[in-house]
Chain A
C-alpha cells in the first residue's frame, strides 16, 4: 500500500517535472536571444564607433525580419560606455549578470577590450571583439573578427619599403594598440632590412603637432607609419599638410576606419597607404547591396566605415555559429569553430574562423588616397589567414591561454 502510493506519487511528480520542463522549453523557444552591445556613442572616438552601433542595429533588424536566430527574435541591449574603460567594465558586468545576455559584443579600442575581457572570462561568456587591432589575443572566450597585423602590416610594410625605401618614422597613440602596433612595425621593418629613424608615442587628446612635424623633417624618413587614434590626434594630417611635409604615410586604421578622406579638405590625405578588409568604395555586388541597405536605414551616414561593416558582419557570424550549433551555448559554438568549417559571406567577401586562434581570415586590399581624395586600389589578397598566433603556439582547441601575445612576449613552449 505504502509502496504503491509512493510509486504513484513519484509518477505524478515525474509527470509534473516533465510538464514543467516542456513549458520551460516552449517558453525558451519564444524568449528572444539577447545580444549585449557596448560601443562608445559619445566621447573622443564616437565619430568612428557610432557606425558600429548602426551596423549592429541594421543586422539585428534584418535578421529579426527574416525570422531571427534559431527561430527566436534577437533583443539588442546596448549601453554607452562614453569612452571610459571603467564604464565598459561596469556595463559588461551588468549585461552578463543582470540582463543575462547570450553573447557580448564590445569595444573598439584595445584598452576597452582588455577591460572587458577579464569580465567575459569570469562569467565564461562568449565575447565578440569586432575591431581590427594589434593582434595576439589567445582567449577561448573571445572571437576576434577584425584584421590583425599579419593581415595588415605584413602585406603593407614590405610593399611600402619596396616602393619608397626603408627609413621609417612611426607615430602612434600611447596605449596598448599604438605601442604593440609600433612594435610590429619595428619588427617587420627590421626584418626587411630597413631602419626606424624615429618613433613617437602620443598621448590621447593631443591636437598640436608642430614640433612632431619638425622632428620628422629632421629625421628625413622615406615614409611615416601613422597610428594616431582619435579625432584630436587626427589634426596631425591637416597640420602636416599645411607645413608641406610631403612624406608618404602608411597605416592600419586610416581611411577605412577613420574616413579622414571624407573629413579633411583635399588633398590633406594624399599619399596615405592603407590595408583594409573593408572600405566603402569597395565595388562588389554583395558590398553594393549592403551599402544600399545601410544608406536606406541610415541616410545621413558620412561613411560606412570598417567598424560598421565588421559590427554588421559579426552579428551574422554569430547567427551562423548559433544555428550550426543549434544552440547559443558557448561550448557548443566553440565546437562548431573547432570543426574548422565556420564561414560566412560578408559584404567584404568570404571569411572563416580559424579554430586555433578564433580569429578570422580576411580579404585585404591595399589602397591609397588620390589628390582629390578618391581611392585608388593597388593590390588585393584573397583570404589571408590569421596565422601568427597559431605559428607561435596558440591553440585554443587544446588549451585556453587567456592571454595576449606580442612579438616580444610569446607563449611558453
Chain B
C-alpha cells in the first residue's frame, strides 16, 4: 500500500505538471505553432480569462459557467485584436514579437490602473481525497481532466470538422485555399480567437488556485513557450508528448531535490531538445520564411 501510495503520488504530480503545461501551452500552440504569430501577449489572455471568471463568480454565477465566460471573453477579445492588429503581421513573424509584447504591456498596466494591483480570490472548490498518507485537492483532478479534454477538443476541431480542414489549408497554402473559395481572413480570425479562448479557459481554470494580479500571465508564459518549442512544428502531435516528457522530468526532480531543480531540469531539457532536434524556434522561423 505504501509503495502504491508513492507511485500514485508520483503519477499524480507528473499529471499535475502535465495539465499545467498543456493548458498553458494549448492556446499558444495554435497561435504560435499553427499561425506563426509569436504571441507574447499569451499570458494576458490567460489573465483576462482569470479575471473574468473570478468577477463573474463574485456576481453569483457558478464556477463552471464563469470559466466558460472567461474563455468566451478572451476569445472575443482575441478576434477583435486579430481584426485590428494581428492580421497585418502574418508575413512578419519578428514584428509580431514587438507588437504582441506592446499589447502585453498595455494590457497589464491598463489592468493595474483600472482594477488595482490585486483582486480578492474566490478560493479553490472544496474537496480532498486521501491516498496512503497524502491528501490531494480534488480540484487538481478537474485540471488534469480539463487538459485531456482540451487536447481531444483540439484534435476533433482541427482534424474532424470542416472548419479544421479550412484552417489547416489556410495555414499551409493560403493562396491555394483562397483560390478554392476559403474565406481566409475569417479563418485566421476564428483560429486566433480559438487560441485566445483556450488561453482564457486556462486562466479561468487556474484562477481559483492562484493570486490574481495583472502580471499573473507571466508565470504561464515561460512554460507555455517551453512546451511549444519542445513540441516542435506539429501542434497536434507535439504538445501532448512534450507535456508528458516535461511533466515527468519536472515532477521527478522536484520530488527529489525541490522546486529549484525541477525548474532547472525543465530548462535543461529544452536546451537539449533544441540542440538534438533541429526543430528549435530559429530553425522553425527560417523554414517558415523560406
Partner-B contacts on A (CB < 8 A): 42-44, 46-47, 50, 174, 199-203, 205-212, 214-215, 217-218, 231-232, 234-235, 238-239, 241-245, 262-266, 268, 300, 302
Contacts and interface: CB of A to CB of B under 8 A. Distances in A.
Contact of B117 (A46, A207, A208, A234): A46
B131 to A, nearest CB: 11
Nearest to B262: A211
Given A210-B16, A238-B210, A203 B123 contact: no
B255 A174 contact: no
B283 interface: no
Given A211-B255, A212-B259, A215-B258, 17 more contacts: A46-B117, A46-B213, A201-B260, A207-B216, A208-B17, A231-B211, A232-B219, A238-B124, A239-B137, A242-B140, A244-B128, A244-B137, A263-B121, A264-B211, A300-B116, A302-B116, A302-B117
Contacts of A206: 219, 259, 263
A42 B137 contact: no
Contact of B209 (A212, A231, A242, A262): A242
Nearest to B112: A42
Contacts of A242: 124, 128, 137, 139-140, 209
A50 B109 CA distance: 13
Interface string B206-244: 001111010110110010000000000000000000000
Contacts of B260: 174, 200-203
B259 A202 contact: yes
Contact of B134 (A42, A50, A203, A214): A214
Contacts, number: 129
B98 to A, nearest CB: 18
A217 B117 contact: no
B31 interface: no
B118 interface: yes
Contacts of B20: 208
B84 interface: no
A264 B16 contact: no
Contact of B9 (A201, A214, A268): A214
A173 B17 CA distance: 20
A288 to B, nearest CB: 24
A214 B258 contact: no
